[in-house]
Structure 1
């Protein structure tokens, strides 16, 4: 697998455009040049790296903790990444993330960090889980937030109903970010194909193959990832635990500090 890249720097992050296996993606890197902890953020279907802005800010806030670098990825076809010309299954998204980590985190000029933690939300949790199974060196630990797709509701109508229920109580910032990303930055045909890929993927069959530490989280009022589903996934992983934080499906907005605590836990730095 090869990774080709170009980059440009914005006021608060370096934007890295890279190619893995013919798929083009974009990462937004910020924080320490020689970190103790590197955190890789992976968004959900139709969304983008912007969904993790509250968590990124919390991770980078000055304090007594370890030096941190944050890498927020726009998966192929989403956010600032170029439009994808074909459907991309979860396994290929996972390979893209692993390729980025190998090239820009583990092989960075300053050397590899002491801990690497991948954090995925919704479909991104499936991507992270798959990366941990397929690429354990690049994905040694993970936090899965509101993972899809609950096997008890693994159809488009049921998922759509749960998302509609969730939207009623989500924070305005999360809804505004999603609206822009869904409508303007991700084409609706690609979104529909990615939803089908999301529903075909079986996270509960992947996690038993994961050797690393997994923390599975849900917002306490998340209708998309019910408590029973989150506990089932945590139990499936050899080194899995589950927990609840404040908020709904986009718990990153409601409780970023709790997500940071889970990252430190997963990375063995708590």
Structure 2
């Protein structure tokens, strides 16, 4: 089913239940106030245990300029839990199928944390539909590939580099997710070799991190960018892992500039580097 442009508004995204590849998820859709644009849509993908809620600030800013979609993947947010844990490839297939049903055939994909794995996999599965890929706080650092190391990094981030509002959003979503489902998906996340799979992405890639992020440190992000066919690396000052919530203006401007949108503003980012 194609999405009617009159069904969405900038201030309050419309939630649409979409079944694709045998699974049910939610898509939150917004259109810019000026109507249709020539720029590709932007699609936002959350990380492990999370939902669209910590992407809302970024979603709202992007929706001023381009068609914007946030997805709650099957089993996350308020979506029903699948009977089994889905692989990274299956989540990517859901994303592509759900957007195709809504008539979104070309889009910039933006993933955060584990969402970067889904973004890479979607770009590998259907490269003709995805002209740009943005990876925010990508995981898993190939030099810290144990659950204990990842948990320590996340704990440091929450204690020292996050805002109260970002912590509140993340932890309430973790509670909704539940420990059993979180741990099942954690194994999937830990086993996906994004540093190898990114080589199969044809589209230009932006690897973006908060400058204080211990989950996705600078050396890891630079090494990941170097493995892509075409990539840029960008740091945004003054924040940690949940960069899209705490520095939403800078992140939105960076995404629009990277994707070549004429609506890009001037965010306070450190700058693009190859």
Which residue is equivalent to 2:12? 12
Shift of 1:9: 7.4
Which residue is equivalent to 2:48? 45
3-state SS, counterpart of residue 137 of structure 1: helix
Please list every run of 5 or more consecutive structure 2 residues that lacks an aligned counterpart in the other structure: 265-274
1:224 to 189, 192, 215: 215
User: Quick one: distance in 1 between partners of 2:96 and 2:130?
Assistant: 7
1:47-126 equivalent positions in 2, closer than 5 A: 47-61=50-64, 67-106=65-104, 116-126=107-117
* Pair 1:149 & 2:140 matched: yes
User: Quick one: distance in 2 between partners of 1:167 and 1:106?
Assistant: 35
Q: Which moved more, 1:188-197 or 1:95-104?
A: 95-104
* Pair 1:159 & 2:150 matched: yes
2:224 to 200, 208, 233: 233
Which residue is equivalent to 1:34? 36
Runs of 4+ residues over 2 Å off in structure 1: 8-11, 32-37, 100-103, 137-140
TM-score, normalised to structure 2's length? 0.86
> Cα distance 1:235–1:189, how it changes in 2: closer, same or farther (>3 A)?
same
Q: Which moved more, 1:46-55 or 1:254-263?
A: 254-263
Kept after mapping to 2: 8 A contact 1:4/1:19: no
* Pair 1:258 & 2:246 matched: no
User: Quick one: distance in 2 between partners of 1:234 and 1:268?
Assistant: 19
Which residue is equivalent to 2:270? none
3-state SS, counterpart of residue 151 of structure 1: coil
TM-score, normalised to structure 1's length? 0.88
Deviations 1:164-223 (A, max 9, x none): 010012111111111211112x13211101010000001111111111011000100000
3-state SS, counterpart of residue 102 of structure 2: helix
* Pair 1:168 & 2:159 matched: yes
> Cα distance 1:236–1:265, how it changes in 2: closer, same or farther (>3 A)?
farther
3-state SS, counterpart of residue 197 of structure 1: helix
User: Quick one: distance in 2 between partners of 1:181 and 1:254?
Assistant: 17
User: Quick one: distance in 2 between partners of 1:53 and 1:166?
Assistant: 20
Deviations 1:13-44 (A, max 9, x none): 21111112111111110123523331100000
3-state SS, counterpart of residue 30 of structure 2: strand
1:194 to 160, 185, 199: 185
Aligned CA-pair RMSD: 2.1
Shift of 1:136: 1.0
Deviations 1:88-116 (A, max 9, x none): 11111111111123222435xxxx6xxx2
Q: How many residues in Structure 1 have an aligned counterpart in Structure 2?
A: 253
User: Quick one: distance in 1 between partners of 2:206 and 2:136?
Assistant: 9
User: Quick one: distance in 2 between partners of 1:117 and 1:137?
Assistant: 11
Please list every run of 5 or more consecutive structure 1 residues that lacks an aligned counterpart in the other structure: 62-66
* Pair 1:267 & 2:236 matched: no
* Pair 1:248 & 2:240 matched: yes
